[in-house]
A = this chain, B = another copy of it.
Amino acid sequence: MAFDPQEKPLAALLAPDILDLLEESPASVAAETEDLHPADLADVAELIPREQVAAFLAALSPARAADVLEYLNEDLRSDILEEIPASQAAALVSQMTPDDRADALETIDADVADEIVSELPAEERAETERLRQFEPDTAGGLMTTEFVSLSENMPVDEAFTAVRALARLGRKEATYAIYATGTDGRLQGVLSLRELLAAAPGATIAEVARTEVVTVAPSADRQEVARITADYDLIAVPVVSESGHLMGVVTVDDVIDVIQEEQTEDIQKMGGMEALDEPYMSISFWGMIRKRGVWLCLLFIGELFTASAMQGFEDELKRAIVLSLFVPLIVSSGGNSGAQATSLIIRALALGELQLKDWWRVAMRELPTGLTLGLMLGVLGIVRVVMWQKLGIWDYGEHYWLLGITVGISVTGVVAFGSMIGSMLPFALRRFGLDPASASAPFVATLVDVTGLVIYFLAALLILRGTLL
């Protein structure tokens, strides 16, 4: 989405002062910055000279530094964790929430990560090793293992005391929800802290908890987790094992990151390239070339067939050179209508508005749409040819009317064909287990161009035979 082109001025303002403090009295940095949001401190860390960052984090309390690390961009965070001593890194990450800790270790050199993990306190180490086994793009890879689960038979006032005790320990879990488990340890219900407060003192958790719990499996794709969070307006999604036991919780802030990453990937794929997987400015030159070059070469090879198509009609071109004048116009019209159709369908599939089975309904919708749009452009094409002739801007010869009609009919056909291919390709890709977003505008254009040329020259043969041809 197109945000206002605005910096985060706060961080820019703070950076110089904090640098001075680091020079003069590092000890006072923690106190001076305690009222600031860790996200802003992370921005500061990204603004100050690279070699100062470690010192800056060291000047903060481990807990605070860990908060800052959670907001730091991935590259910088990884560099820092790789460069500082493993014991120090362990002290930092042990203060992170389990899921962020696992993510942070995910992005750094595996050996360094193992070393850091080995330095963790036994409990954190076990937890971290368990979380690291999940694929990062699954519910298991996103979840935190810190959550509040209480026996459904517990009286609410007892539950309340338990939660308050947790809160007093400074544990963050209680912010989200309280999960009620049966005697067999299976997840039975959920209630918010607010609902716990509202409960009548006598009741048990089972009596006040909502039994309609929306859950995901640890193996669920992160896109599925995002869809469920959005559909049900959740702020946390419980991750439940096959046996029905609560394994962890995916919180909404992580879901928002997922949504944005997924959409970045889609948009980049729709641009006819591989997803970058890192910010535009931080990817290496050759990394960029690789991500763009592979697709660009494939598309180019596809486009080479247009040369073959043109060769196939070289005689017609020789006889009526005027035909060549409209080749770029014809070819591009098909690409454009294809680009529209494909981005519409890719997005509708992504949002779940369309399912695979809807392909036929879509085809039946795109056919009339494409034909209508094609007719509009076709008329424009005829008008162009005839007008240029009448105005004496260019002489297309005595058969200019026939030429105009050839152009008009070809444009109509090509545009209709383009929107058909553009709308069906995403379905085809998904059908074969590929990402519909790969149906990029360039990809569709490449598919349409050769056919567009054939349509054009066949129309010409049909209409101009005996006159120009």
A164 within 8 A of B: yes
A144 within 8 A of B: no
A154 within 8 A of B: no
Interface bits A109-144 vs B (CB < 8 Å: 1, else 0): 000000000000000000000000000000000000
Pairwise interchain contact B350-A3, C-beta atoms closer than 8 A = yes
Interface window among A75-83, A84-92, A269-277: A269-277
CB A412 to nearest CB in B, in angstroms, measures 12
Among B267, B328, B449, contact of A267 (Cβ-Cβ < 8 Å): B267
Pairwise interchain contact B344-A329, C-beta atoms closer than 8 A = no
Pairwise interchain contact B2-A297, C-beta atoms closer than 8 A = no
The interface residues of chain B lying within 8 Å CB-to-CB of A458 are none
Among B2, B163, B303, B351, contact of A264 (Cβ-Cβ < 8 Å): B351
Among B270, B281, B339, contact of A442 (Cβ-Cβ < 8 Å): B339
Among B197, B224, B268, B333, contact of A343 (Cβ-Cβ < 8 Å): B268
A20 within 8 A of B: no
CB A1 to nearest CB in B, in angstroms, measures 3
Which B-chain residue is minimally distant from A70 (CB atoms)?
B233
The secondary-structure label for the interface of chain A is: helix
CB A345 to nearest CB in B, in angstroms, measures 7
Using a Cβ–Cβ cut-off of 8 Å, how many residues does chain A contribute to the interface with B?
144
**Central interface residue in A36, A221, A344, A351, by most chain B CB within 10 Å:** A344
The interface residues of chain B lying within 8 Å CB-to-CB of A182 are none
> Within A320-341, which residues are at the interface with B (CB < 8 Å)?
321, 324-329, 331-333, 335-337, 339-341
**Central interface residue in A39, A195, A328, A377, by most chain B CB within 10 Å:** A328
A390 within 8 A of B: no
A184 within 8 A of B: no
Pairwise interchain contact B384-A35, C-beta atoms closer than 8 A = no
> Within A1-34, which residues are at the interface with B (CB < 8 Å)?
1-8
Distance between Cα atoms of A321 and B111 in the complex (Å): 62
A99 within 8 A of B: no
A349 within 8 A of B: yes
The interface residues of chain B lying within 8 Å CB-to-CB of A353 are 279-281
CB A105 to nearest CB in B, in angstroms, measures 20
Which B-chain residue is minimally distant from A357 (CB atoms)?
B5
A152 within 8 A of B: no
Interface window among A53-61, A166-174, A242-250, A461-469: A166-174
Which B-chain residue is minimally distant from A376 (CB atoms)?
B293
- 15 examples of A-B residue contacts, CB within 8 angstroms: A1-B223, A3-B223, A5-B355, A5-B356, A37-B214, A164-B198, A193-B193, A256-B259, A280-B353, A292-B373, A296-B376, A299-B332, A304-B329, A306-B329, A307-B326
